[in-house]
Amino acid sequence: MYKIVKIALVVLGLVGVVLWLMLPDGKMPAAEAAQSGPMGAMFMLTYALMAIAVLFSLFFSLRSQFSNPESLKKSMFILGGFILVMAIAFVLATGSDVNLDEMARRGIDTTEGTVKNIGAGLNVFFILTIIAVGAMLWGGLKKMTSK
């Protein structure tokens, strides 16, 4: 199996080198260069390698999670906590923070739902930031008082 993976990586590397050599020169406008065949092939190769990496990472991490019940339990608590944070953030978001008529006048088609989703995303960020800072402070205080 290791030899097959090694050979596949060498072949993909050679394909990447050939595509790199086929790229348009710097004198071609960027819009045309982005539409060239070798550039598209390099993007497809990148997407394929990224998909392979993601699939293997998911497979091995899930296999590890399901082989250790304690780890799976801890992961489920963390996932539940994240879902709870997302629910709290969505409830706190109002969706009326922006004047929709003014946005429409400026040519930005926005709905109250879009504004609410953006507000919820910002709330998630702020809540997770507060949790992270609190965890660092808690760890630091715990370390300082244990000496």
8-34 pLDDT tens trace:
888 888 988 888 888 777 777 877 777
Tally the domains of the chain.
2
For residues 109 and 69, the model is more confident at 69
The pLDDT of residue 84? 97
Both tokens of 106, joined, read 């400026």
| Domain encompassing residue 121 | 69-147
The pLDDT of residue 89? 95
Is residue 80 domain-shared with residue 145, that is, in the same domain? Answer: yes
Both tokens of 66, joined, read 């399901």
The pLDDT of residue 109? 78
Q: What tens digit of pLDDT does each residue of 51-65 get? A: 988 998 999 988 988
DSSP 109: -
Among 34, 67, 100, identify where a domain stops. Answer: 67
Is residue 51 domain-shared with residue 79, that is, in the same domain? Answer: no
Instruction: Give which of 19, 56, 57 is closest to 40, Cα–Cα.
Output: 19
Is residue 46 domain-shared with residue 84, that is, in the same domain? Answer: no
Among 51, 67, 83, identify where a domain stops. Answer: 67
Is residue 113 domain-shared with residue 43, that is, in the same domain? Answer: no
